[in-house]
Amino acid sequence: MNDRIRILAVDDEENSLENIRLAVKSMGYEIICVNTAEEAISLLLNEKFNLAIVDLKLPASSGLEVIEKTRISKTLLKYLLITGYSEEESILKAIKLGVEDILKKPYDESELYSTVNKILKNQQTELENIKLKERLEKENQILSSQLSQETGVDQVDLMVGESNDFLLILENAKKAASVPVNILISGESGTGKELLANYIYRNGVRNNKPFVPVNCPALSASLFESELFGYTKGSYTGAGNSQAGLFEIADKGILFLDEITEIPIELQAKLLRSVENRTVKRLGSTEEIRIDVQIISTTNRNIHDAIEYNLFRSDLFHRLSNVELHLPPLRERMDDFELLLEHFIKKFSKKFKTSPKKLSDKELKILKQYDWPGNIRQLSNFAQKWVLFPNSGTPIELLLDFSKINSVNGKYKYHFHDLNMTELEDAKKWLVQKVLNSYGGNKTKTAEHLGLSYQGLLKMLKNYGIGK
C-alpha cells in the first residue's frame, strides 16, 4: 500500500519542512512539500492525498484555513496539525474541524513516525469498512432477489393477514422496533421470520442505518468468528489485511442473526461479552471497539431444548430475547388462509400474465385440511404452480405431493393400557421411531417435525437406542 499513499506537508519554516520530508520518505510514502496555505489548498482540492501535515501558523493565513477549505470535498483526507504555540482556542477549533492528531514542536522523528502511521492505519480500516459495506449492500440485493425468485415471497407478503393474533404480532413488532432492544423471533421454517425482521427494520428508528444479515448455519466456527468480529493483519494464515467484522459494519444499525441455535457453543461466550459490553475485539487484537448494534435473532428450533442439553447458553438467550415474537405455523393461521392464497394467486397471475381457474369448494377444503409443513413459503409455491398450469387438469393432490404428505403427516395413534410414566416413555420412543421412518431416516426433518433441536433429537435417539 505504501506506493499508493500520498502525503502533503505545508510549513513556512524550511528546516521543519525538510525534517518532515525526510521522515516521511524514510517511511516509504510519497510526499509533496509546500510553503503557503494557497499552494496547499490548490493541491488538496485538485489531487488525491491520504494525509495533510499542516503547520498552524502560515504566512498571511493559518493551517486552520487549509483544513476548513478542503475537508468537505475530501471526506477521507486526514489531517495532522503541527504547532509551536499553545493557543487553546485554535486547538479546540482544530479538533472540531476533525483533525486526527496534534503534534507540538519540538517533536522527535519517532513521534512523527508513530503518529503518521497510526493515522494511516485508521484510514485504511475506514476504507476497508466502506468497501465491506458496499459488498454487503450488493449481497443483500442479490439475496433479496434470489429469495423472491426462489420462493415467490416478497417482503410485503408477510403483512397479509387480518386475524387478531397476527395483527397483534405486527403491533408488538412495531413497538419493539421503536426501542433499542434485542428481539428473538421463533417459528417453523417458512413462517416468515426473516421477513418479520425486515418489517421491524423498516418500521424502526434505525431504518436508515445498516441491516446486516448473518446466516449462522452457513458459517464454520473459525469463519464465524472472523466474519462476526473481524481480524487484524497477520492474525491467521491468509489474513493479508485487517478487516472489520459484521458487528462493526452494523454499527448504529441492526445485526440479523438467522438461526442462532447453530452458533458454535465455543463462540457463544465471546458473543455474550460483545452483547453485554457493546464492544468487539478483532482476532489478533487487544483493542476493544465500541459498537451500538440492535440484534434481531431467529430460530426454527426449540431453543429451550438447546439450553437444556447445554448446546446454547441460557445467559446469551436472555440477552438476545429482551422481546420474544413467535410466528405461528400456517396450519394455525387458517383465519388468514384464504386471504393469503388469494394474494399469492393474484400476484403470480400478474407476474405470468395468465388467468388460473377458480378453486372449487372441494379443492379449497382439501387445501385447508392439509398440514402445510412448509408454511407460507409452501403456500406461495403451490399458488405459483396453480397459476402456471391453469389448464393442465393436474389434480390438486399431485401439486401438493400427497404421496409424501400422507406418509409423514398422517394421524399417529398409540394405545395406552397401564397409563403410567413407563408407558409414556414407550409412547415417546414409538413416536420418534415412527416419524424417523416416515422421513426415511432423515434426522434434520425428523427434528423439525417433532419441534426438537437437531442435537436434542440425537440425544433422544441415543437414549432410546434408535438408529444404531
- DSSP 8-state assignment for residue 312: S
Regarding whether 199 and 308 lie in a shared domain, the answer is yes
Same domain, 166 and 233: yes
**Are both 222 and 288 inside the same structural domain?**
yes
147 in a structural domain: no
Residue 409 clears pLDDT 70, i.e. is over it: no
Kindly report, residue by residue over 22-39, the tens digit of the pLDDT: 999 988 899 999 999 999
Confidence of residue 361 (pLDDT cuts 50, 70, 90): confident
Question: pLDDT band for position 6 (50/70/90)?
Answer: very high
Q: According to the model, what pLDDT value does residue 52 have?
A: 93
Q: What is the CATH number of the domain that holds 404?
A: 1.10.8.60
Rounded average pLDDT over 81-86: 81
- Buried b vs exposed e over 416-426: b needs ≥16 C-beta within 10 Å? eeeeeeeeeee
Q: At residue 155, does pLDDT exceed 80?
A: no
Same domain for 335 and 322? no
Residues 335, 260, single domain; the answer is no
Looking up residue 436, the CATH number of its domain turns out to be 1.10.10
CA 165 to chain centre: 28
Query: What are phi and psi for residue 163, nearest 5 degrees?
Result: -70, 150
- Give yes or no: residues 218 and 259 share one domain: yes
Residue 419: predicted pLDDT: 62
Out of 326, 355, 385, a domain closes at 326
Same domain, 394 and 280: no
Pairing of β 294-299 and β 183-186:
parallel
For residues 321 and 334, state if they share a domain: no
Pairing of strands 243-244, 254-258: unpaired
Predicted TM-score of the model (pTM):
0.57
Q: Are residues 245 and 208 in the same domain?
A: yes
Residue 120: inside a domain = yes
pLDDT band of residue 323 (cuts 50, 70, 90) is very high
Higher pLDDT: 150 or 207? It is 207
For residue 51, the model assigns a pLDDT of 92
Span of 62-66, 423-427, 458-462 with lowest mean pLDDT: 423-427
Greatest alpha-carbon span in the chain: 103
pLDDT band at residue 280 using 50, 70 and 90 as cut-offs? very high
- Count of domains observed in the chain: 4
What pLDDT is stored for residue 418 in this prediction?
A: 60
Closest Cα partner for 177 from 212, 203, 213? 203
Q: Are residues 158 and 48 in the same domain?
A: no
Q: What is the pLDDT of residue 1?
A: 45
- Do 305 and 317 fall within a single domain? yes
Q: How confident is the model at residue 193 (pLDDT cuts 50, 70, 90)?
A: very high
The parent domain of residue 449 ranges over 421-464
C-alpha closest to that of 194 among 226, 230, 229, 151 = 151
**Are residues 322 and 237 both part of a single domain?**
yes
Predicted confidence (pLDDT) at residue 181 exceeds the cutoff of 50: yes
Q: Which residue has the cell 501535515?
A: 53
* Per-residue model confidence (pLDDT) at position 433: 86
